[in-house]
Amino acid sequence: MKQRILPLFLALLLPLAGCNSRPATPAAPDATGATSRTPQVNPRSTGAGFDFYLLNLSWSPEFCQSHPAAVECAMHATFVLHGLWPENNDGTYPENCSNAPGPADPAQYKDIYPDLGLLQHEWQTHGTCSGLGADGFFAAARTAFQLVKIPPTLSGLKSQISLAPDQILASFTATNPAIPQSSLALTCGSNYLTAVEVCLDKSLHPVACGAVRSCRANTVRIPPP
């Protein structure tokens, strides 16, 4: 099950077989066994039939701890874009809504998806449910990603630290005053930070996350880039 987990160098995306297996770090529950996603009990079959977007920003250093030879790990990025995912207020989410073709020129999105196979996966699994064409969807993903500023505490991290989830999310609201903490969620695995997520309406404005579940660990460890 898929987890709830700027300058161009931060836009490197981790080479994954698909986001249902892991965002950028192990697809594991948090310390309490909770995960951000609830089961897809009522999948939709048509595009635009969703309530809001979930922007997933994966913490690259956690992935690189177990995949040090991965090409993108040489860039020592912090948060990278995993995806912009249509979500429903009841906790369900649509996937694989059509066979619409992906972008005619995928290379124009290498700043956010250098792995073009993953770009195609994100389009097929999530983009086809957005009600947008491929170029519109990836332009929206880029815009959403660039809207979020990374807190200095994390962008300048030099050594591993431990923080409570609420402290991490509070640092995001302090750096991004237009994003309230109710629009944020955090995911963790084995007490390590895996992703920060932002709930956005279809115009990419922050909205309350509702049924999106956040990490409930007392503290999470954050390795440096």
Residue 141 Ramachandran class (φ > 0 left, ψ -120 to 50 alpha, else beta): alpha
- 10-residue block means of pLDDT along the chain (225 residues)? 39 41 34 36 54 95 76 77 95 95 96 86 97 98 97 93 97 98 96 96 97 95 92
Per DSSP, 90 falls in state T
Residue 105 Ramachandran class (φ > 0 left, ψ -120 to 50 alpha, else beta): beta
Check residue 72 and give its pLDDT.
Answer: 65
95 carries an active-site annotation: no
| This prediction's pTM | 0.81
126 carries an active-site annotation: yes
Catalytic residue, from 62, 82, 87, 95: name it: 82
Going from the N-terminus, what domains does the chain have, and what CATH number goes with each?
A: 8-222 (3.90.730.10)
121 carries an active-site annotation: no
Closest by Cα among 195, 194, 200, 193 to 179? 200
Three-class DSSP category at 162:
strand
Q: Tell me the two tokens of residue 149.
A: 């500023």
Catalytic residue, from 62, 87, 126, 197: name it: 126
Decide: 185 and 212 in contact? Cβ < 8 Å: yes
Distance CA 152, CA 187 (A): 20
Inter-helix orientation angle 116-125/134-147, to 10° = 100
Q: Tell me the two tokens of residue 171.
A: 């640092």
Catalytic residue, from 72, 95, 122, 197: name it: 122
